[in-house]
Amino acid sequence: MTHEELEEAVPLYAAGALERPERQALETHLLSGCVSCHTALKEYQAVAAVLPFGLQSTPPPRTLKAKIMAARTAPVMEDAATEQQASRPSLEPGEWMNHLFPPESSTSIWSLRWGLGIAALGLLVAGASLAWNSYTAMTDSTAKLQALQTASQEQAAKLASIQQQIREREQTIDRLKAETDQQRTEAMALKEQLIQRDAELEDLRLQLVTRSSPPQAAHAPEAELAALLHQSTAVRTISLNGSEKAKGAAGFLLYDARTHKLWLYSINLPTCPKGMHYQIWAMQEKPVSMGSFHNHGGETAHRFITHHPNLSTVKRFTISLEPSGERSAPTGPIYLTSQS
Amino acid sequence: MDTPSQQAASTIDPALLARVVKGDVQAFSQLYDQSSTLLYSLALRMLGNKEDAAELLQDVYLEVWRKVSRYDIGRGTPLAWLVTLTRSRAVDRLRARSSRGPQSMGAPLDGDSHVPDRGPNPFEAQADQEVHTLVMGALAALPPAQQEALELAYYEGLSHVEIAAKLNQPLGTVKTRIKLGMTKLRESLRHCWDQGEHL
């Protein structure tokens, strides 16, 4: 039933006009806590409660009160039997109000035979009640024990979960610690390399100072620098001499064996004509281009050569003037060349 | 000390039931004095003879004495609880009676046996008389068809299905009559419990 249907059934419920299934459905709805239906029911129940005021007033027999007051203290044999009866009338109006009072079944028409039977049934039920109480007490204890076990299991599960979280965090800390150690080691290595480079530079600087005084006027600057670099065992110097096209030009290649890096320094090369550039060659079985550069004027030029073959296989190095665009072999005039 | 003539059924104080819960015999006696005329009138109307009505009333009051602690004020006033209990037990008897057949009917209302000990009279308490007047007026204002449907449900203990069969009317018509009747009564009597303390 929808809420609207249930709400419409409230006045019929208060008047006692619902069938049992409808009544039970509404009572279930009321017990679910529907405030609007509960409020409506209280109002209709109040209407039903005052309807008897519309009757002709008739006082009860005078002796009835005395009988009730006397019967009040009499032992009640039928209570247990009455409450245990499962069979109820098909219609019990006002169950919402009457829910605490299971209906009796025609107590007024009990015969003596039925009375005795019910009394016996009462004794039987009393015995059963005693047994039931014992059983329920045991059941309660069992239920409490089960509840405690369940609570204990839940706590154990929570503890295991917390322990797992702690293990995961410990693993994370270990991993971070290892990463930190590795970074520290790398930093130390870099620092050592830096110290070594500083020492080499300092050594070179001292040699330069030593060579610079007294001045040696007979040597060209490039020759002095090449001679200076020759002092370093880690750097190989390859001198380049000017050809007939550039008699005043010179140059050298610096090769660092530790880093495998190659630099070109040139001096007094003529300015490149428009559309032309200098191309560097490693002469092996076949010429290998190591790149090109422009010289736009100035006495010196230098270039870092990123691609070069194994220097042990190179017979000599040359620099030629070529039209723009890569060539696979020298086609223009040679300006600088090394000794074989 | 209060006398029965001063105690209105329409003003039963929940505190009185609280005293009965504690085994206060005087409170139980006062509860009887305040409510017995109304409940007996209801039982007599439903069962049709005074012996059954008296027997029913005795059962109801003994049940109240034994189980008053189960009364829940959140579900209604003391009067609503007593009326509902009385009506419910009367319906039980009507059902039991109908299952045994018409031969088991008690003494009818007509005749000498129906004459009450003190004779029919208006409700004695002023408050009850006022409620009586209001309810009579509200009922009289209902269309006869709605009155009939309500009386069959409330006093005869019939369901809407049984009423529809008895009146040979569609089920929806009967349900509408009861619903409209109850709704009109609620509107007519609203100020009755708006002003009253315990109704």
Distance from CA of B85 to the nearest CA of A (A): 6
Q: Tens of pLDDT along A306-321?
A: 888 888 888 899 999 9
pLDDT in tens, B55-98: 999 999 999 998 888 787 777 788 888 998 999 999 999 988 87
pLDDT reported for residue B159: 93
ipTM of the complex: 0.86
Nearest to B95 among A44, A62, A91 (CB): A91
Q: What is the pLDDT of residue A150?
A: 81
Nearest Cα neighbor of A294 from A306, A267, A319, A276 is: A276
Q: Is A14 on the interface with B (CB under 8 A)?
A: yes
pLDDT at B115 over 50: no
Q: How far from chain centre, in Å, is Cα A216?
A: 72
Q: What are phi and psi of A253, to 5 degrees?
A: -105, 135
Model confidence pLDDT, tens digit, residues B30-62: 999 999 999 999 999 999 999 999 999 999 999
Give the pTM.
Answer: 0.51
Contact at CB, A19 and B161, closer than 8 angstroms: yes
| pLDDT tens, position by position, B4-14 | 445 788 888 88
Amino acid B102: pLDDT: 53
A50 touches chain B (CB under 8 A): yes
- The mean pLDDT of A61-81, rounded to a whole number, is 74
* pLDDT score at A34: 85
Taking the alpha carbons at both ends of chain A, their separation in whole angstroms is: 108
| Nearest one of B23, B4, B12, B19 to B78, comparing CA atoms | B12
State the pLDDT at residue B1. Answer: 39
Nearest CB partner across the interface for B87, out of A68, A94, A104:
A94
Q: Which of B87, B80, B184, B130 is nearest to A50 (CA)?
A: B80
Rounded to the nearest 5°, which phi and psi values hold at A99?
A: -60, -25
Instruction: Yes or no: say if A334 and A243 are a contact pair by the CB < 8 Å rule.
Output: yes
Q: A62 and B117 in contact by Cβ < 8 A? A: yes
Cα(B154)–Cα(B187) distance, integer angstroms: 18
DSSP H helical segments within chain A, as ranges? 3-14, 20-31, 35-50, 64-71, 78-84, 95-98, 112-212, 221-230
Does A59 contact B116 at a Cβ distance shorter than 8 Å? yes
Interface test with B, best of A58, A63, A79, A111 (most B CBs within 10 A): A58
**A16/B157 touch (CB, cutoff 8 Å), yes or no:** yes
For the cut 80, the answer to whether the pLDDT of residue A21 exceeds it is yes
Instruction: State percent of chain A over pLDDT 90.
Output: 16
Question: A301: Cβ–Cβ under 8 A, 6 or more apart, which residues?
Answer: A265, A266, A269, A293, A295
**What's residue B11's pLDDT?**
82
Higher pLDDT, A92 or A46: A46
